[in-house]
Amino acid sequence: MIIKKIFDETVLSMPYCGGLSSYSLVLMVSAYLKRFDEQNTESLSRNLSGFFHFYGCGFKPHLHYLNGDNIEFEEAKRPFPDPFIVLDPLDPANNVGHSTFRIKDIQRALVQAFKIINKSCEEYQALDPSSLGLSDKDQQHLRCLPRNVLARLMAEIQLEHYQPNIFAEDDL
């Protein structure tokens, strides 16, 4: 849901504008966890950061694809010429990612999210609130605190990379 929330204010969450469908995103998360954290030993923050890094940097949509919740790395087996392939596990003849033509924009947003989270973690680990002499009220405004990271993440991605969602439900 955090990942979906990041894209909600942009066209990247709308498949008819080249973005990701919710179903594609669920399969991406499932495939990532199945491949990289099958034993459920990693923390949520480590998995979130890893997801952003893998799909932003490591996943090559022109070479790799998702077969249900399995990541396939063999280019020769790509069943469709589409730029992003996510095969429906209930119907492998259905590419639920066929309308995701903005995959490069999505990957740039994921890389940006990865950088923001990592920088925030570094800042948070270096933070010693007692030595700063800040009151609790002042500390809540520090951008590296976990409760502020999601808002910062959404704002920076939206501001730096993408136009607001012009098809917001409030306007319909």
Spell out the domain ranges in the chain: 2-163
Tokens 């480590």 belong to 46
Query: Which CATH number is associated with domain 2-163?
Result: 1.10.1410.10
pLDDT at 172: 47
Average pLDDT, the chain: 79
Q: DSSP character for 164?
A: B
pLDDT at 87: 95
CA–CA gap between residue 68 and residue 51 (Å, rounded) = 17
Instruction: Output the six-digit token pair for 143.
Output: 């951008």
171 pLDDT exceeds 50? Answer: no
Q: Find which of 19-23, 57-61, 111-115, 138-142 is predicted with most confidence, using mean pLDDT.
A: 57-61
> pLDDT band for position 144 (50/70/90)?
low
pLDDT tens, residue by residue, 53-109:
999 999 999 999 999 989 998 877 888 999 999 999 999 999 999 999 989 989 998
18 pLDDT exceeds 80? Answer: yes
